[in-house]
Amino acid sequence: MSDKIPVGILGATGAVGQNYINLLENHPWFEVTYLAASPRSAGKAYKDVVESRWLLGANVPERVRDLVVEDANDPSKAVGRCRFVFSALELDSKDEIKALENAYASLGIPVVSNASAHRWTEDVPMLIPEINPDHLAVIDAQRKSHGWDRGFVAVKPNCSIQSYMIPVYALMKAGYEVKRMFVSTMQAVSGAGYPGVPSLDILDNVVPYIGGEEEKTEREPAKIFGKVVGGKIVNFDGLKVAAHCNRVPVINGHVACVSLEFGDKKPSLAEIERIWAEFRGLPQELNLPFAPDRPIIIRHEPNRPQPRRDRDEDKGMAVSVGRLRECPLFDVRFVGLSHNTVRGAAGGGILNAELLKAKGYIA
């Protein structure tokens, strides 16, 4: 018998769920034992649900092909069949997702979520493990306030902000105040899930609107850079963000053009490069399986990073940056890129779970 931790995937049939299946195939710590999705898929073998819409290569992995998909709306089915779940659910409302994720936690099943429903719950950590692993501390308060013993909910932030949050944090950690950030994103179609944006809307086109995305982009950094005070996360109010979010005809890989304004102390371009090249976080220190060796990869070619060429760097977990230069409006500008369904979704969720295990929250 395997000594890996049995894990479930809620929303296993969707774009993010499929990425979880793929990335967890040979994971050294976790083994997929439980799959759940909508009532439409429940009761069927996984392969029969996803074969015609499998996004990741030729075949649905052997290990999960014949697993029967359960109804994610019935958390009792997961009891005894997995130790924790990844949530990649898309339901009609955030309240429904919150209630369902809480229901799993109340049954002693920790939830590592990709959904946005709980991102603003004060005692739910919104993790980028290189930036705010100290936010795990709110889990004890969360458990206490709900009366949960083993269960809890932890989330990851929006997929597009991953492409620049680590580079910005690295500069803040090195002692540079970042006061204002202007960001314009070009986001891949896989970010909209399956089947996503109709082909006749996106091919030969750019759509300058993604519902809710600009609000998330502007708000989430405040919580990620926040401080734990009395069992809650108190938002950081020292950074103003303005965002434009665009959908572009790329399959995977979100790009962000970012301008930064610093406080009185301003780093030179050479100093920024040095900080980025040397930056490492707790996942690298702990040598977590999904931690990229170098979280930030710097490109010097004038036309990089590009989604097709750079999104898969270090298993899709590294952020690529390039075109670092001065900005005539703010201080500096650069281009960031990350793989939205890996670092920005399933890979990011797996790194969160690895951190939670390493810190003893997932037994």
* CA-to-CA dists, residue 325 to 64, 96, 138, 168, 330, angstroms: 47, 45, 38, 15, 11
Instruction: Please identify which residue in the block is written with the tokens 């103003």.
Output: 240
Residues 58-77 that bind ligand NAP (CB under 6 A): 72-73
Distance CA 145, CA 312 (A): 40
Listed in order, strand segments (DSSP E) in 72-147 are 84-87, 111-113
Residue 121 interacting with ligand NAP (CB under 6 A): no
Q: Cβ of residue 206: shortest distance to ligand NAP, in angstroms?
A: 18
Written as six digits, the tokens of 146 are: 């709900």
CB under 8 A, 24+ apart: contacts of 311-314: 311/252, 311/253, 311/337, 311/338, 311/339, 311/342, 312/339, 312/342
Binder among 88, 189, 256, 260 for ligand NAP (CB under 6 A): 88
x-or-dash string of contact with ligand NAP, 304-343, rule CB under 6 A: ------------------------------------xx--
Binder among 55, 56, 68, 91 for ligand NAP (CB under 6 A): 91
Closer residue to ligand NAP, CB minimum distance, 143 or 216: 216
Closer residue to ligand NAP, CB minimum distance, 89 or 243: 89
Residue 126 interacting with ligand NAP (CB under 6 A): no
Only segment of 35-43, 222-230, 274-282, 331-339 that touches ligand NAP (CB under 6 A): 35-43
Q: What share of the chain is helix, strand, coil (3-state, %, to 5)?
A: 35, 20, 45
What residue number has its CB nearest to ligand NAP?
A: 14
Active site residue 146: no
Active site residue 159: yes
Written as six digits, the tokens of 131 are: 């930036």
Residue 184's φ and ψ, nearest 5 degrees, are -125, 120
Residues lying near ligand NAP in the complex (CB under 6 A) are found at 11-17, 37-38, 40-41, 72-73, 88-91, 114-116, 159, 190-191, 193-194, 340-341, 344-345
